[in-house]
Amino acid sequence: MATEFHNLQELRHSASLANKVFIQRDYTDGTVCKFQTKFPSELDSRIERTLFEDTVKTLNNYYAEAEKIGGQSYLEGCLACLTVYLIFLCIETRYEKVLKKISRYIQEQNEKVYAPRGLLITDPIERGMRVIEISVYEDRGSSGSSSGSSTTSSSGR
Amino acid sequence: MKNCEYQQIDLRALRTSTTRTSTNKNSQRVRRKWEVFPGKNRFYCDGRIMLARQCGVLPLTIVLIFITSGLFFRFDCPFLVHQLTVFIPVIGGVLFLFVVITLLQTSFTDPGILPRALPDEAADIEKQIDNSGSSTYRPPPRTKEILINNQVVKLKYCSTCKMFRPPRTSHCSLCDNCVERFDHHCPWVGNCVGKRNYRFFYAFIVSLSFLTSFIFGCVITHLTLRSQSVNGIIQAIKESPASVVEVVICFFSIWSILGLSGFHTYLVASNLTTNEDIKGSWSSKRGEESGNPYTYNNIFTNCCVVLCGPMQPSLIDRRGFLPPDDTPPIVTSDTELPHFMAKNDTNMCTQSTKELLESVAHSTMIQSTCTPGTPKTTPVSQESLLSTVSITVSPSSKSPSTGCSGRQARRPIDVPCSQRGSKQAALHTHKTMLRVSSPPYSLGHSPIILSDAPNMGFIPLN
């Protein structure tokens, strides 16, 4: 553990986790995976409402696409039934493909939108699709020894 | 407004820290998450195959199927091929394969287990629940009402998994897991039947009913034809005693299997689960018009959705890796440590941040707020909230687990799962209380101190 300490202290920002905000599921349309778009008050001063809502709405759209019941899913289901479901061992289902897209989207959002604001979104699949966990990082203020990364000052908020 | 500065979380720097920590991992044996899974399940093939711990009568099921089919192929097929057609063993073989494959898939597939809530999430949920009693007062079972398709549905709080169960989810007391779209725990297949393996289960019982009917029909035909040729049924039976065994097994199985298939066909067509049907969740009670909010009101659509709908991957990451073994359990119990680790194949960003979190959590630090104006919940009260709520966890509603055969389908077995949950909660509280120390809390802008003192604990804020 001591090794990790020194790595931490070497990291210039030493961002520390202050809070976690959980976006719960929205069950009004049934058991389909959908998250509430209500803007949590803890993020009020950290991120713009529209950006947050865009992220959640895009995620909801992705999940809706994954769970869409239509021609392709029926085809997949019938084919699986005929092959005694052994096909699931061989091919990647559409759901898994969409989950990979979601993973990439979340990573991109984190890099472009959330990390600059001291926030980090956790992929809901790691939380059993129950919540979108947003970690809120607080900085202790003046930077210590710098190691090359740039500082964003958001005191103008 | 705020005086502190937010610095960009340097993802590249986080990634490099991850690679440094992962090289340390290689020197010790890495464990996979299935090894510390909190539910009562057994794992084989390094986490690829899972079963309930009580596998029930699965061996009996397999033995019965193999014996009956074996006797059929060995003793009845030669006669029938000679007398009738060669397609009889072919059809029998195909049905037998279907039955065995679907049975193994039902038994070894994750039925849709929901991973348990992490401490942060559980604490957040506890905060949202109004807890206005002293530590001796036991609050009533927690429920949350939501609207699904304009119908009120109650979500219950699961004290073992520490979350509000999604709709149609139930906690199986035999497996000690919350299972999505919980149908029932089937002792014959040795596993719960839930969202992910219901189609396998349905295919199993349908193909098994075809197989038993087919074998029964063929054996009766065999005995009839033989008795005609040897002028007496008794003689025929003496010549082929195995057929009698098959007849007996098939005769008694057919009633229950056909009944079960019919029952589940009805459930599939109306998009119900055994659990809901037995509890009468959507029957018109109290004179109210309450239908099933999940049905599509079309038999064909319901069938397609239930049997051919999209297949969600397993939510419990069985084969993911745990963090290194040398992390001392400061706040959480060991069983909840693996939930912090991300999957290896997900984005590095969250994984590395998780490791950062982990290392931060296991280091010692005193956190402070950055907002001079707005006082946050003090850590001390947060801790007391956790301990109060954990101790006074109320018994959640009982979860019925039903037998699988058609005759027994109406007799649910109620086993409370709260006692186990309370013990775990008490254990968490005990560990948390031992190690927590109240930090000097100030509303001012105080710096975060990273120190090496091992006897100070980390209080999770929310």
Test A85 with B117 for CB contact under 8 angstroms: no
CA dihedral of residues A10, A12, A18, A23 (deg, nearest 10): -110
Whether chain B has a CB inside 8 Å of the CB on A3: the answer is yes
| Confidence band, pLDDT 50/70/90 cuts, at residue B242 | confident
Q: What is the pLDDT of residue B304?
A: 87
When CB atoms are compared, the residue of A18, A137, A153 closest to B9 is: A137
A125-129, B32-36, B139-143, B214-218: range with lowest mean pLDDT: B139-143
Is A7's pLDDT higher than 60?
Answer: no
The span from the CA of B192 to the CA of B174, in Å, is 9
| Confidence band, pLDDT 50/70/90 cuts, at residue B132 | very low
Please state the length of chain B. 462
Is B180's pLDDT higher than 60?
Answer: yes
Test B166 with A141 for CB contact under 8 angstroms: no
| Confidence band, pLDDT 50/70/90 cuts, at residue A61 | very high
Angle CA B410–B294–B267, to nearest 5: 35
Q: What is the pLDDT of residue B138?
A: 58
State mean pLDDT over B26-46.
75
Instruction: Give the tens place of pLDDT for each residue, B366-404.
Output: 444 444 444 444 444 444 433 443 334 344 444 434 444
Nearest CA in chain B to A77: B308
State mean pLDDT over B406-412.
41
When CB atoms are compared, the residue of A13, A28, A123 closest to B147 is: A28
Is B333's pLDDT higher than 60?
Answer: no
When CB atoms are compared, the residue of A45, A76, A143 closest to B2 is: A45
Of residues A52 and B120, which shows the higher confidence score? A52
Sign of the alpha-carbon torsion through B403, B404, B408, B412: positive
- Tell me the DSSP string of B36-93: G--SSEEEETTTTEEEESS-TTHHHHHHHHHHHHHHIIIIIHHHHHHHT-THHHHHHH
When CB atoms are compared, the residue of B5, B168, B369 closest to A155 is: B5
- Average pLDDT of chain A, as a whole number: 78
- Closest listed residue to residue B140, CA positions, set B125, B159, B122: B159
The tokens of A138 are what?
A: 């607080």
Nearest CA in chain B to A65: B310
- List B residues 9-28 in contact with A (Cβ-Cβ < 8 A): 9-11, 13-14, 17, 20-21, 24
| Confidence band, pLDDT 50/70/90 cuts, at residue B131 | low
Backbone angles phi, psi at A41, to 5 degrees: -70, -25
Q: What is the pLDDT of residue A140?
A: 58
Is B117's pLDDT higher than 60?
Answer: yes
Instruction: Give the tens place of pLDDT for each residue, B254-266.
Output: 999 999 999 999 9
The span from the CA of B215 to the CA of B324, in Å, is 55
Q: What is the pLDDT of residue A144?
A: 41
Q: What is the pLDDT of residue B403?
A: 41
Spell out the residues 6+ positions from residue B196 whose beta carbon is closer than 8 angstroms to its own. Answer: B109, B110, B111, B112, B180, B311, B312, B314
Of residues B399 and B188, which shows the higher confidence score? B188
- List A residues 88-127 in contact with B (Cβ-Cβ < 8 A): 88, 93-96, 99, 103-104, 106-107, 110-111, 115-118, 120-123, 125-127
Q: Where are the beta strands (DSSP E) in B128-229?
A: 143-148, 151-158, 163-164, 170-172, 177-179, 184-186, 191-193
Of residues A146 and B156, which shows the higher confidence score? B156
Test B360 with A8 for CB contact under 8 angstroms: yes
Of residues B350 and A15, which shows the higher confidence score? A15
B45-54, B83-92, B138-147: range with lowest mean pLDDT: B138-147
Hey, what amino acid is at B308? C
Q: What is the pLDDT of residue B288?
A: 52
Whether residue B186 lies in the annotated active site: yes
**Residue A22 with chain B: CB contacts under 8 Å:** 120-121, 124-125
State mean pLDDT over B45-68.
85
Angle CA B444–B446–B447, to nearest 5: 160
* Inter-residue contact B236 to B227 (CB < 8 Å): yes
**Residue B450 with chain A: CB contacts under 8 Å:** 5, 8-9, 14
- Average pLDDT of chain B, as a whole number: 70
**Residue B372 with chain A: CB contacts under 8 Å:** none
In the set B77, B186, B218, B250, the catalytic residue is: B186
- Tell me the DSSP string of B259-296: HHHHHHHHHHHTT--HHHHHHTTTS--TT-----TT--
Share of chain B above pLDDT 90, in %: 19
Q: What is the pLDDT of residue B93?
A: 93
| Confidence band, pLDDT 50/70/90 cuts, at residue B212 | very high
- List B residues 382-401 in contact with A (Cβ-Cβ < 8 A): none
Is B2's pLDDT higher than 90?
Answer: no
**Residue A99 with chain B: CB contacts under 8 Å:** 313
Q: What is the pLDDT of residue B262?
A: 94
Of residues B279 and A4, which shows the higher confidence score? B279
A86-100, B79-93, B216-230, B361-375: range with lowest mean pLDDT: B361-375
The span from the CA of B156 to the CA of B85, in Å, is 58
Instruction: Give the tens place of pLDDT for each residue, B220-236.
Output: 998 888 888 887 888 88
Test A152 with B7 for CB contact under 8 angstroms: yes
* Inter-residue contact B167 to B154 (CB < 8 Å): no
Q: Tell me the angle at which helices A71-82 and B299-308 cross, rounded to the nearest 10 degrees.
A: 60
- Strand B49-52 to A132-138 pairing: unpaired
| Confidence band, pLDDT 50/70/90 cuts, at residue B287 | very low
- Closest listed residue to residue B307, CA positions, set A30, A64, A80: A80
| Confidence band, pLDDT 50/70/90 cuts, at residue B203 | very high
How close B333 gets to chain A, by Cα (Å)? Answer: 18
State mean pLDDT over B288-309.
81
| Confidence band, pLDDT 50/70/90 cuts, at residue A72 | confident
